[in-house]
Chains A and B, each alone.
Chain A
Amino acid sequence: MSIVQSFSIWFIPFLIGFILLYGTYKKVPTYETFVEGGKEGFSIAINIIPFLVGMLVAISVFRASGALDYIMMAMRPLFSLFHIPAEVVPLGLMRTISGTGALGMTSDLIATYGPDSFIGRLASTIQGSTDTTFYVLTVYFGAVGIKKMKYALKVGLLADLIGFLASIAVISLLFYS
């Protein structure tokens, strides 16, 4: 466990250091380039606001009304059979449909259970481990006019399921065994 955690801590400084040295070696104007790229980051953060507002409001209405509790109560026995925490099942479903929707759910889970809780870590990993299948399918096949997608959807959804189950297994094993 400590190896994994120190890997996580060392990895980012190592990667940044490597990129900076590599850029310097390749005679990239590092600081100017950094500023230029940083502007893109700013507009991404601003562009995401309407998506997050829409999703977080819908999720919190659903939660505050008590509807989410009913659903989780109904689902819990089924999922606890397979050691799947019912709290993250809605996120797992949303992850395949909408990236920003899932991002809203992830932040809701982190806010509710805390970022360093089991659910908080699990939600973070689920969000990071797969991409939105329906989005990728729509954009990539839509852009070049593919109508018969054959077994593509099955492959994408099964891969999401694997990512979801792998996240649960990895977080349970690394942090809570």
Chain B
Amino acid sequence: MVNYIWVGMMIIGFIVAGINGTMDKVNEAIFTSAKEAVTLSFGMISILVFWLGIMKIAEKGGLLEVLAVMFRPIVKRLFPDIPKDHPAQGYILSNMAANLLGLGNAATPMGIKAMEQLKILNGGKNEASRSMITLLAINTSSITLIPTTIIAIRMSYNSQSPTDIVAPTLIATAISTVGAILIDRYYYYRSLPKGGK
């Protein structure tokens, strides 16, 4: 899908430029934007290095486990299908904690491990179970405490206060997570009479 959009934007751009007579601007845009992308990536190094360094300390100190303990009561309610002390629960907890800290690289493997366990719980069928979809919903609307990359971009464009979007982002992401959970519940209960579990 991304492939079509990417090619589409370029080709449509060239055609429109041909009709509009803006081909000179398009030529310029290709090279300036390529350069801008590289400059932007370099500008992001500073904050990414710093933040991932700090987060490594949190990870080594065992903060993920502490967060996981805090989340346990919530997870029990969100995933009523998972038996008590099943390994799936532990993986889901680590996945949520890693997402919260913005550790995408740690969150994904944990999420996949959780999915494996949920598939076993579901009898190994190639069909998504209720808990799998809930886990997915939480991950697509993931709550992150600090949107590091965006702060980095805002910094490279000389924002007067690059971090002033932290609180709005937290509020928006909290709303979307609660929304995701509610929608997930709605579709689950709607799917029941059709013979689902």
Contact = CB atoms under 8 A, between A and B. Distances in A.
Nearest to A64: B29
A171 B175 CA distance: 13
A152 B172 contact: no
Contact of A8 (B34, B163, B173, B175): B163
Given A150-B128, A170-B172, A48 B58 contact: no
Contacts of A129: 141, 169, 172-173, 176
Nearest to B122: A146
Contact of B150 (A19, A101, A106): A106
Dominant SS among interface residues on chain B: helix
A45 B44 contact: yes
Nearest to B32: A60
B57 A131 contact: no
Contacts of A101: 2, 5-6
A163 B176 contact: yes
B78 interface: no
Interface in A116-168: 116, 120-121, 124-134, 136-137, 139-141, 143-152, 154-156, 158-160, 162-163, 166-167
A42 B154 CA distance: 18
A162 B136 contact: no
B93 interface: no
Contacts of B25: 64-65
- Among A56, A103, A145, A175, the most chain B Cβ lie within 10 Å of the Cβ of A56
Given A162-B176, A167-B168, 18 more contacts: A8-B161, A9-B164, A41-B53, A42-B48, A56-B33, A58-B9, A64-B13, A64-B26, A64-B28, A97-B5, A98-B2, A115-B159, A129-B172, A146-B115, A148-B126, A159-B137, A162-B180, A163-B141
